[in-house]
Amino acid sequence: MPAEATPIEPHPSLPVRPEAEEDLAAGGPAPLAGVRIIAVEQYGAGPFGTLYLADLGAEIIKIEDPGVGGDVSRYIPPGRVGTDSLFFEAFNRGKRSLALDLKAPAGRAVFERLVATADAVISNLRGDQAERLGLTYEVLGGINPAIVCVALTGYGRSGPDARLPGYDALIQAGSGWASLTGAPDGPPTKSGLSLADYIAGLTAALGLVVALFDARRTGRGRDVDTNLYDSALAMLSYPATWFLSSGFVTERREMSAHPSVVPFQFFVTADGHIAVASPKEKFFRTLVLAMDLPDLAVDPRFADFEARDQYRAELISILSARFAERTTGEWLERLRGRVPVAPVRSMEEALDVTELRERSMLAEYRHPAFGTVRSVGLPLTMGGFEPSYAPGPALGADGEAILRELGYDEAAAAELRADGAFGRATHDSRSLERIEPV
C-alpha cells in the first residue's frame, strides 16, 4: 500500500456527465445516473447494498481479485455455470466487473486513475483491510478530494475484533438475534434469511448516499464506516430500549408472538396458519366480535394491553381453539379489511410470478449462461422512474471498456497486463469450467 497517493487528473477523453437540465430534457434520468461507485466487494452484505444503488442508476464497478477467481459468490450452488451463479446474479445484476490486483503496483495505478473519475469507493472486507489496501479517505482524498470512502466490515476497523471475519450467522448469534428467534423451548435460531448481511448493506448504502450528498455540497468527501455487528445491534430497537432502560428481558414466545402486544402472532387454522396483529384497542374488539366471541370484548381480563398481556395464556387458549375451527381462507374472508391479518404462505406461494409482476417486483432479464433469470426487484417506487434490469457481469468482462474510458490505449493496456495489473490474462470467464476460490 502506498504511503500517500499522487493526485491524478481525470483523462480528457472521459465522458463528461450531463447536467441535470439536459438529462431532464432527454426524458428523465435514473435517480443516480452519472454516479460512479467503485465496489471492492464480495459475497452478500456489500453487494446487497450496492445492488439497490445499481437498480437506481448508479454505475457500480466491481473490483474483483483475479488471484482468487473473483467474488466467491460466483461459485455458490445451486445454479452455477463456470464462474456464473444464480447466487451471484441475485446480488450483482446491472454492475460492471474489473479484474484487478490491488496489491500489484500496476493494478494500483489503474485503481487510482479510476478513483479520480469516481464519486465513492465502498469495500466490504475484514476490518484491517481498508487501511491496508489504501481504501481510506486519508489516502484516496489526495487523488480525489470529493471521494467518499465507505468501509463495511464485520466488527469495525478498530478494537480487538477488527481482524475477525464477519458472517451473517456469526452476527445473528453474537448480537442476540438468535436468542429472540424460535420456540421458547427450542434452541436459539438464526433467521431463514441473511438479514444481518442485508441490513448492514443497506446501512452502508445509506451512509454512502448521505456522504455523497454532502460531498456534492462541499466538494469534500470523507470516510464512512459501518459494520455487520453494530448494524445488527441497532436492529434490536425496542427490546434494547426496554432492557437498557428498565432491565426488561424480551423472551421467545410460542407461534412468533409479540413480547407484549396480545394477540399479535400466528395461529393454527383448520388447514394451515394465519397471522393476526392487534396493535390498537379497536382491532382487538373488532377481532373478537368477528370471531363470534363477544364476551371477550367486555371481559376485564382483556380490557387493555396490560391486562391482555397479564392474562395472555387464557386469551390465546380461547382464540386458538376458535381459529382451529375454520380454514385460513375462511378466516381471511371474515377478517381481512377489518383487522390486520395475513395468511402464512410458503416461499413458493409468495413468489408467484404473476403477483410479482403486478406489484412491479419482478426483475426479469436474459442471461447468456442461464437464459431467463427472474428475481425480486427494487422495492422502491419513484415518480418518473422505472428500473431496468440487466445481467451481472462476467468476471473481468468490462476491463477493456473501462481501460479505454480511463484513456489507456492498447499498448498501455498490454503493458499493464504484462506488469500483472489484472492477474492472469483476462478473458470471458463464462467459458471456464471451474476456478476454485481461495
Which positions are annotated as active-site residues? 197
Q: Which of 162, 244, 247, 156 minimizes the C-alpha distance to 204?
A: 156
Using DSSP's 3-state secondary structure scheme, residue 40 falls into: strand
Backbone angles phi, psi at 59, to 5 degrees: -90, 115
Angle between helices 195-218 and 45-55 (to 10 degrees): 50
Helix (H, G, I), strand (E, B) or coil at 206: helix
Cα separation, 91 vs 86, whole angstroms: 9
Residue 61: enclosing H or E segment and its boundaries?
Answer: strand 59-64
In angstroms, the CA 133 to CA 125 distance is 10
Amino acid letter, residue 204: A
Sheet of strand 148-153: strand arrangement: 96-99, 59-64, 36-40, 120-124, 148-153, 222-227
- Give the three-class secondary structure for 103: coil
CA separation for the pair 212, 319 (Å, rounded): 52
How many whole angstroms separate alpha carbon 135 and alpha carbon 144?
Answer: 12
Beta pairing class for 80-81 and 84-85: antiparallel
Strands 264-268 and 273-277: antiparallel
C-alpha 221/C-alpha 209 separation (Å) is 11
